[in-house]
Amino acid sequence: MEKVVVIGAGLAGSEACWQLAQRGIQVELHEMRPAKTTPAHKSSSFAELICSNSLRANNVENAVGLLKEEMRRCGSLILEMADTHAVPAGGALAVDRRAFSDAVTAKIRSHPNITIIEEEVTQIPKEGIVLVASGPLTSDALADDIQAHFPDQDCLHFFDAVAPLVTFESVNMDKAWFGSRYNKGTADYINCPMSMEEYDTFWKELCSAKEAQLHGFEDQNVFEGCMPVEVMGRRGHDTLCYGPLKPVGLPDPRTGKDPYAVVQLRKDNSDGSIYNMVGFQTHLTWPEQKRVFSMIPGLEQAEFVRYGVMHRNTYINSPKLLNRYYQVIQEPRLTFAGQITGVEGYVESAASGLVSAVELAHRLQRLPPVDFPPETALGALAHYVSNPTVVNFQPMNVNFGIIPPLGYKVKGKRNKNAALSQRSLDLLAQLKR
């Protein structure tokens, strides 16, 4: 059986190697560290956690908690080592970062089906089965080669400057309304109006809110091309009212008059279950985004499925390139996994490594595909990054908004999420993986 070359030993690459090797497939893992490092990494260990020791919520009423449970049931190395080296963190799964990475490294290095080559890969191999899991800090040389590999696609993006996303069902439509400026076109926007008093309170809190720390591997250039909403607000009391919160041509149908300011939400997926906060690119901390943006009329109970981020992140235009197996449509010998595919977060990165490797192993062994269904968290991520109807593709954390609805009413958000999770785990149990 043909070997698989895996590029990158982050969480996705490590998980992919393990899943392939455990299924009897020979793996050649290429990792440039320690010979060449990145501004973010501090050690030569595999699956290094850079920014936090937390892998987020652990209960299955939370989407990332469900994702972790699915991974456990699929024999995930990353989750096994995370659970082994967990430290107290309330309802979250947090780990001893060094012990966790060292344990993953030991498992990978000792596996008889994995050969490790410590060198930088500057080009995708011209032949053979290759899984690229080079991460959001892909080296410049490899990034250039990836771009050259797909000359017909504007496939690489180097910075995230994205606005928060909220679920449609969490927007209070008693305060907001559908409509487009000057009633032009179709009423695709949700409009959240503000009075002068409401805007003044919001503006003061926005301008004084806490910003996230800028890490060494992030680049100030990201702010030059897309100004954070809080920076724009600090330029003057009404600056936002002449920019993303401009109320002109958006009369409130309840009063017939233009509000003092209007926050617009734009549909972010074809189902209309997720909406983007237009013009709200931000570098505020996530708790501050939740606090300040929930002051907007209609968003008091908003469910944020992604917060705004502004940082370095190399990722491909996956919906144009990949299928739901993370396989390159036009060149099936190539597979991508990890944050370079547009999944956001440590757990999601490892999950994509798991799915891509399981599906690749089935192909190599001439078995039917597993086809993780979109009703599972694992399948939902795979379908999101391969969905050509996604508008303005951007990196995404797992969330219940990308999982198909139940099709029936369940009272209470927690009960609904529990029902979605149970459906997912029941479906997962039926898969031959």
pTM: 0.75
Contacts of 387 (CB under 8 A, 6+ apart): 269, 270, 319
Contacts of 168 (CB under 8 A, 6+ apart): 190, 272, 273, 274, 275
> Is residue 419 within 8 Å of 427, Cβ to Cβ?
no
Contacts of 32 (CB under 8 A, 6+ apart): 118, 119, 120, 121, 139
> Is residue 358 within 8 Å of 324, Cβ to Cβ?
no
Whole-number pLDDT of residue 237:
95
| pLDDT beyond 90 at 6 | yes
Cis peptide before 332 (omega within 30 of 0): no
* Per-residue pLDDT reduced to its tens digit, 248-297: 999 999 999 999 999 999 887 767 888 989 889 898 999 999 999 999 99
Residues paired with 65 in a beta bridge = none
Using DSSP, state whether 159 is helix, strand or coil.
Answer: strand
CA 194 to chain centre: 31
Using DSSP, state whether 327 is helix, strand or coil.
Answer: strand
pLDDT greater at residue 223 or residue 327: 327
Whole-number pLDDT of residue 188:
76
pLDDT above 90 as % of the chain? 63
Residue with tokens 């003061």: 204
54: phi then psi, degrees, rounded to nearest 5: -100, 130
How far apart CA 253 and CA 242 sit, in angstroms, is 21
pLDDT greater at residue 336 or residue 211: 336
Q: Which of 33, 229, 244 is nearest to 121 (CA)?
A: 33
pLDDT confidence bin for 225, thresholds 50/70/90? very low
Residues 324-330, mean pLDDT to the nearest whole number: 96
Whole-number pLDDT of residue 272:
83
Give the number of other CB atoms < 10 A from CB of residue 249.
13
Q: Domains (ranges, CATH) in the chain?
A: 4-155+317-430 (3.50.50.60), 165-310 (2.40.30)
Q: Which of 130, 104, 126 is nearest to 15 (CA)?
A: 104
Rg of the chain, C-alpha, whole Å = 22
Residue with tokens 């895996």: 6
* Per-residue pLDDT reduced to its tens digit, 65-92: 999 999 999 999 999 999 999 877 667 7
DSSP 190-246: EEEEE-HHHHHHHHHHHHHSPBPPPPTTS-THHHHHS--HHHHHTT-TTTGGGTTT-
Mean pLDDT of the chain: 89
